[in-house]
Structure 1
Amino acid sequence: MTAHLPTLADIGDATLTARLQHLIDHKTKPLGSLGRLEQLALRLGQILGTEEPRLEQPQMVVFAGDHGLAARGVSAYPSDVTWQMVENFLAGGAAVSVLARQHGLALTVVDCGVAKAFAPREAVPGQPRLLLRKVAPGTQDASQGPAMTAAQCAQALAHGVEVVRGLPGNVLLLGEMGIGNTSVASLLLARLAGVGLDECTGAGTGLDDAGIARKRAVLRQALEANAGAVAPLDALAALGGFEVATLVGAVLQAAAERRVIVVDGFITSAAVLVASRLQPLVLQRCVFAHRSGERGHAAMLGVMQVEPLLDLGLRLGEGSGAALAWPLLVSACAILREMASFASAGVAERA
């Protein structure tokens, strides 16, 4: 399957990197004493291409969609929870709504393929907004064949590109909602990275041991039913969800625009995995917020050879982990811009 997707340039500027490292090393502190905050400051300076990085108009975007696979009992919750949670996001009652409000993150919800028709919502300053980019009211059951057609997958990718093009600022925080989408993440990890389903598949929204066993059996059927879908976009169409495909397009566009991409948990990481198989330089622009408590996420992060900022046992999704990690990005930029050097402060350096 082909799609018109953004291409990326390498942002690995050795001269800028050396200048940033010199600045960090000569702040008024013992060398390396701010630990991984120093690595984060370096990454943010590299992404934004400056020694004085500023995070402007951060955008939290939650991509929502339903999954035909959910009818097979792969989640502890019914599919109706997807649209109900979209309403909860917009009403301000969800975890990501609270955290976005707390940290001043603009919140947008995108209907990528929810099995309910939403009325258009007028944008209200300071309130969450809803974008209607529905490809269809949920995907097909991937255990019986492809979840999406190639055309549907390409449409979802294009929607992701379009959504990001319309957003202000230089930071994109990724969120998602879709009952059954931990199954999608597990399938994509298994297919694209060869990780066994036992390692990929966990409790999702709270399955018991019998439920996890049933989920694994359904996922094996999905892999077998789509055995020929091995290239990244083919696997995405066969196994993915509309919200995951829209996320892939959004990630690629944000990376092309050199935005900071703050990756949440298992499902958003699956979208980044697909995007990085299409454009490996995507990973240069990403900050991984946390290591989820969902089984499979640690393996997924290992496949991409990335280290997250937090490990709090989270497995909610929605973008909640990305929002919780946000203050660390703000602090890293402030340290780089505002912390004095030994020379400017008149403090003696180590002999």
Structure 2
Amino acid sequence: MDYARTRQDSLTKPQGSLGKLEELSIFMAGWQGKEHPRLNQISCLVFAGNHGVTAQGISAYPPAVTKQMVQNFENGGAAINQLCIAAGAKLRVISLDLDHPTADFTKAPAMSEEELCRALQTGADAVPDDCDCLLLGEMGIGNTTAAAALSLALFGGDSGQWTGRGTGLAKDKLAHKAEVVETAVRRHSPEISDSFELLRCLGGRELAAIAGAVIAARQYRTPVLLDGFISTAAAAALTISAPDILDHCQVSHLSVEPGHRHLIETLGKSPILQLDMRLGEASGAAVALMILRASLATYNGMASFEEAHVSRSLQ
């Protein structure tokens, strides 16, 4: 990182004039451990899971849509397919027991210990050990409710501030969704002492898989682009047990989901983009990858003042 800062200051531009692009190149150099970081091998992982809490009427779509959308991913027809092509990322979609939704977490923990371990391991195993950057996203009807519950349990506040419309829930049903979130957190709060119990009680299989992938990426020193509210909440669940666990992660964009702004501000993160997106699927992460490519193109390709024979002096 010291080398990258020195190089940025030597390039033919006013110091700091490329703003966030400069910060991202320094971040990438540090985590890859390379004076000249690269983006040759990019993996985009989209995890899919279903949620029993949809029985509470908190989504505009039924759980069957999760499997239908996974098929659309596999057929190449979704937004993330096109964005991965444009950004130069290899997409992999991983379904987690879609025919057996998690338990309704207003009535019981979302998962057993075994189910959570299996989901965490699935996420960790999916991360290549030679990846230059990892993009993480999800698909799962009902998972904005799980993300809101995780966030409320993590950071407190009012359930309404964490709860949004998700896939397009009618405004008159938002209050009910917030009540469901509050009920779930109130029920399980006495059991939650660490990240494992938080994810087990209030998460979902795809959220746990994202958390497992974040841990594996940290072990490999692989930089991570988290997608939106759900991916960020899944990763944030790890901070109970390891406060600095997300240092290798960037938040790709600020989602329209209202809880996302509160979440990233509490985590002390700054999103790369703000495009009024709320699709999920790692779509924001794929777009942010294009910004990351711009960052490294300027960092690696620009000439220094000395190389270009350009004077630094105002004289």
TM interval, short-chain normalised: over 0.9
Which residue of the partner structure matches residue 140 of structure 2? Answer: 178
Aligned with residue 292 of structure 1, among 255, 262, 276: 255
1:264 aligned to 2:241?
no
Structure 2 counterpart of 1:217, from 158, 161, 179 = 179
For residue 66 of structure 1, the aligned residue among 37, 50, 64 is 50
Q: 1:167 to 1:258 in 2, by over 3 A?
A: closer
Q: Say which of 246, 263, 279 aligns to 2:209.
A: 246
Secondary structure of the structure 2 residue equivalent to 1:189: helix
Which whole-Å CA distance do the structure 2 matches of 1:224 and 1:18 have between them? Answer: 46
Question: Structure 2 CA distance, aligned partners of 1:319 and 1:195?
Answer: 27
- Partners of 2:53 and 2:106 within 8 A in 1: yes
Given the alignment of the two structures, is residue 280 of structure 1 paired with residue 280 of structure 2, yes or no?
A: no
Give, in whole Å, the separation in 2 of the partners of 1:22 and 1:267.
36
AA aligned opposite 2:63:
S
Q: 1:45 aligns with which of 15, 26, 29?
A: 29
CA distance in 1, matches of 2:280, 2:273: 14
Distance in 2, Cα, partners of 1:201 & 1:83: 24
Unaligned runs of 5+ in 2: none
User: Aligned-pair distance for 1:209?
Assistant: 2.0
Cα drift, residue 282 of structure 1:
2.8
Matched, 1:107 2:77: no
- 1:78 maps to which residue? 62
Superposed, 1:30-179 pairs within 5 Å as: 30-115=14-99, 137-164=100-127, 166=128, 168-179=130-141
* Number of aligned residue pairs: 313
Q: Which amino acid aligns with 1:300?
A: L
Deviations 1:247-286 (A, max 9, x none): 1111100111011101100010011101233333332211
Amino acid at match of 1:190: L
CA distance in 2, matches of 1:35, 1:246: 33
Equivalent residues of 1:113, 1:139 under 8 A apart: no
Residues in 1 aligned to 2:157 and 2:304: alpha-carbon distance in whole angstroms? 46
Q: In structure 2, what is the equivalent of residue 228 of structure 1? A: 190
**Within 2, Cα distance between the matches of 1:259 and 1:97?**
22
Residue range with higher mean Cα deviation, 48-57 or 82-91 = 48-57
Deviations 1:67-88 (A, max 9, x none): 0001111111111110000000
The letter of the residue matching 2:170 is: D
Is 1:23 matched up with 2:11? Answer: no
When normalised by structure 1's length, the TM-score is 0.86
Aligned-partner residue type, residue 281 of structure 1: D
Q: CA 1:168–1:49 in 2, change beyond 3 Å: closer, same or farther?
A: closer
Deviation at 1:89, TM superposition (A): 0.4
SS in 1 for 2:157: coil
Which residue identity is paired with 2:103?
Q
Whole-Å Cα distance in 2 between the matches of residues 253 and 277 of structure 1?
A: 17
Q: Note if contact 1:144-1:221 (Cα within 8 Å) is conserved in structure 2.
A: no
Q: d(CA) in 1 for partners of 2:244 and 2:189?
A: 28
Per the TM alignment, residue 168 of structure 1 is displaced from its structure 2 partner at its CA by 4.4
Letter matched to residue 147 of structure 1: A
Distance of 1:170 and 1:34 partners within structure 2: 22
Report the identity percentage: 39
Contact 2:58-2:145 at 8 Å conserved across structures: yes
Q: Gaps spanning 5+ residues in structure 1: where?
A: 1-16, 116-136
Q: Secondary structure at the match of 2:275?
A: coil
Alignment partner for residue 151 of structure 2, among 173, 189, 193?
189
Structure 1 contact 170–258 (Cα < 8 Å) conserved:
no
Distance 1:46 1:73 in 2: 45
Q: What RMSD in Å do the two structures reach over aligned CA positions? A: 1.3
Using the TM superposition, name which of 180-189 and 105-114 deviates more.
Answer: 105-114
SS in 1 for 2:250: strand
Determine the C-alpha separation between the residues in 1 that align with 2:245 and 2:262. Answer: 19
CA contact (8 A) 1:63 1:243 kept: yes
In structure 2, relative to structure 1, the CA distance for the partners of 1:140 and 1:162 (3 Å cut) is same
How many Å apart are 1:167 and its aligned residue?
Answer: 5.9
TM-score w.r.t. structure 2 length? 0.96
Q: CA deviation at 1:50?
A: 1.6
| Counterpart contact for 1:60–1:106, Cα < 8 Å | yes
2:269 aligned to 292, 306, 323, which one? 306
Pairwise CA distance, 1:337: 1.3
